[in-house]
Amino acid sequence: MQTYELIAPCHFGLEAVLKREIYDLGYEITRVEDGRVTFTGDAEAICRANLFLRTAERVLIQVGRFNATTFDELFEGTKALPWEEYLPKDARFWVKKASSIKSKLFSPSDIQSIVKKAVVERMKGHFGISWFSEDGADYPLRVFLMKDEVTVTIDTTGDSLHKRGYRTMAGAAPLSETLAASLIMLTPWHADRILVDPFCGSGTFPIEAAMMAANIAPGMNREFLSQEWEALVPKKVWYEAIEEAQDLVDLDVETAIQGYDIDESVIAVARENARRARVDKLIHFQRRPVAELNHPKKYGFIITNPPYGERLEDKKDLPALYQQIGEAYARLDDWSMYLITSYEDAERYIGKKADKNRKLYNGMIRTYFYQFLGPKPPKRPRRDVASQQ
């Protein structure tokens, strides 16, 4: 089976989390850049990466890389690539997106137009025809220029991987599913530990955690463009990858995942989203303000996305709100707290300095992932095997 260079874009600053996921799937990583991880894999890897990666935004096939400082070089470099190995004669192909950073060529619309023309010229020469019907499957192209290096790719995914299929409605400041999964994976939380999100909104943190606990592949409830690419990714390979994902699901896992919000209508949305994700039995949702957050057990986790006060009129409420968060956390014996917010006075009003602080972007908003680390729970005593014999 042919192998490809595959590129998985992700949130800036979270490449290490995606790297770990790709290694765990069994693939070799060849390059790591800001917001992108490149790895090698075959058609099966295309299917499994789309189905199983929780922190990637999409999966791209790299058709080629070359340097270009003029539009002639861009045209010739693109035309020299073996497009006929990827695109059938009836392919519907277009340049979906072009981006340029620190490069002499910087006009996205010009880059898109020239790359499309170059691909057409290559295809004309190979197929011996001057006109293409483009009435077959979709093959959107994506082109990245970084310091004059051009990377030309085909998108195997379609709608971004953060669109898991379970979230039909979201709150006012939703966190993307891929970012939520990445942040959970930055913590030492695992399925047998308590997790509480006191600002759960549409339920993204609890749902992503429950899907991890139950081993539900994030791409199981959606479709991908490359499912229509019979020549590159045979249907049989897709069926086998989906069957693998189904075999791994464990809905009988015991969890202690809870989501709270002060808005009853938002809680109703979270419950419906959890039901659509098949994890409603694994999460307890409840209307409860953060001031009433309490728990009798030790060593739990708060993982949350509290209000940022992006609207000016909400800013005045933030000091009191973050003070309540701090007071609630102080009551929770030996817990850890992880929160993502753009509010720069968060630590001041929480009343405690974070052990770690990571700068991230939630869309275009610069945020901070504050990590307040509680102690590890004591190790469970190992059962004496000899005494049982």
Going by C-beta distance under 8 Å and a sequence separation of 6 or more, which residues neighbour residue 276?
Answer: 165, 166, 167, 168, 221
Concatenate the DSSP letters of all residues of 23-47 into one string.
Answer: HHHT-EEEEEETTEEEEEE-HHHHH
| 389 has pLDDT over 70 | no
Domain map of the chain by residue range? 4-155, 177-217+243-372
pLDDT computed for residue 386 by the predictor:
46
291-309 pLDDT tens trace: 999 999 999 999 999 998 6
The per-residue pLDDT for 170 is: 63
Look at residue 383 in the predicted model and tell me its pLDDT: 57
Place of tokens 């809905």: 251
Per-residue model confidence as pLDDT tens digits over 84-123: 999 999 999 999 999 999 999 999 999 999 999 999 999 9
Contact 277, 312 (CB under 8 A): no
Percent over 70 (pLDDT), the chain: 95
Neighbours of 349 (CB within 10 A): 17
Looking at residue 25, its pLDDT comes to: 98
Say yes or no to pLDDT of 385 above 60. Answer: no
Query: What mean pLDDT, rounded, does the chain reach?
Result: 94
Most distant CA pair in the chain, distance: 81
CATH class held by domain 4-155: alpha beta
* Phi/psi of residue 365, nearest 5 degrees: -90, 125
- The yes or no reply on domain 177-217+243-372 and CATH 3.40.50.150 is yes
CA distance 154 to 163: 19
- pTM, rounded to two decimals: 0.94
Give the model confidence (pLDDT) of 117-141 as tens digits: 999 999 999 999 999 999 999 999 9
Contact yes or no for 287/324 (Cβ under 8 A): no
Q: Please say if the pLDDT value at position 382 is more than 70.
A: no
Contact 17, 185 (CB under 8 A): yes
Q: Angle at which helices 235-248 and 43-52 pack, to 10 degrees?
A: 40
Residue 79 has pLDDT above 80, yes or no: yes
